[in-house]
């Protein structure tokens, strides 16, 4: 495992931020990320102020499979007879990938509007806590508990990490979930694209400057891929 990946894992284990760049000729974006288990209102504020993109939460395959948490695109496909517009709007022309990983949007039932830093932090914290406890549950019990705690639609965007992770897809959803699987942290990451003041994505070099200023390491997707291969995860 490279020193860059080791340093990133150390930061994550301390509940800090890391930046992840996917790769050239894909999205070519840097995401600011932190473990969902360690999210706080202050971190939500940092994500929306310093990153500026959409704040999302990755769902590891073992969790979304246990919950039978659907991909949003599959839900749309199943309802095209009732809502023909969804057939016309099918996302079959994504320029950087074959499929979106978006699943449901959720709010914890103890939130009010769900959008405040406090509300989103609560939703994400409870999602990570519940996710850690699903292994011993049946699907029926897991779904019941999930429904008791969360409502949909909401303001936290869940992303189903592709089964097989980076062996199947090299998006930030899979890369950041894989990065946590190299640690002992529950593998759900809260992620947000970094945007430039000009309105475009923040490029990798600008992200490095931000990282040096704030002691936040930046690693590339290829480093995570190599670390996963070396560890045989």
As annotated, the active-site residues are 31, 56, 96, 107, 155, 193
Task: Give whole-number Cα distances, 94 to 25, 45, 91, 100, in Å.
Answer: 13, 30, 6, 8
Helices 3-13, 172-181: crossing angle, 10 deg rounding: 80
- Take residue 53 and report the two structure tokens written for it: 């993109």
Cβ 126 vs Cβ 149: under 8 Å? yes
User: Which residue in 74, 122, 135, 63 sits closest to 101, CA to CA?
Assistant: 74
Check the CA dihedral 21-26-27-33 and report its sign: negative
Pair of tokens at residue 180: 């946590």
- Crossing angle (nearest 10°) for helices 172-181 and 221-231: 40
Rounded to whole angstroms, the Cα distance separating 178 from 33 reads 13
Distance between CA atoms of residues 225 and 229, nearest Å: 6
Q: Give whole-number Cα distances, 18 to 7, 54, 88, 146, 149, in Å.
A: 9, 16, 38, 29, 29
């Amino acid at each position: 495992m490279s020193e860059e990946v080791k340093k990133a894992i150390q930061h994550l284990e301390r509940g800090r931020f890391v930046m992840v760049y996917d790769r050239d000729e894909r999205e070519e974006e840097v995401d600011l990320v932190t473990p969902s288990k360690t999210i706080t209102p202050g971190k939500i504020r940092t994500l929306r102020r310093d990153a500026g993109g959409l704040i999302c939460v990755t769902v590891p395959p073992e969790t979304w499979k246990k919950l039978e948490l659907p991909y949003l695109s599959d839900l749309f496909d199943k309802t095209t007879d009732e809502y023909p517009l969804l057939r016309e709007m099918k996302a079959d022309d994504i320029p950087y990938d074959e499929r979106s990983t978006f699943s449901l949007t959720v709010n914890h039932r103890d939130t009010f509007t769900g959008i405040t830093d406090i509300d989103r932090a609560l939703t994400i914290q409870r999602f990570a806590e519940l996710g850690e406890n699903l292994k011993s549950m049946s699907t029926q019990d897991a779904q019941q508990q999930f429904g008791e705690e969360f409502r949909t639609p909401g303001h936290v965007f869940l992303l189903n990490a592709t089964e097989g992770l980076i062996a199947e897809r090299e998006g930030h959803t899979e890369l950041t979930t894989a990065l946590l699987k190299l640690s002992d942290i529950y593998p759900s990451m809260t992620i947000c694209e970094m945007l430039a003041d000009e309105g475009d994505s923040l490029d990798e070099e600008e992200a490095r400057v931000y990282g040096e200023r704030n002691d936040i390491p930046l690693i590339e997707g290829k480093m995570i891929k190599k670390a996963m291969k070396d560890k045989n995860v």
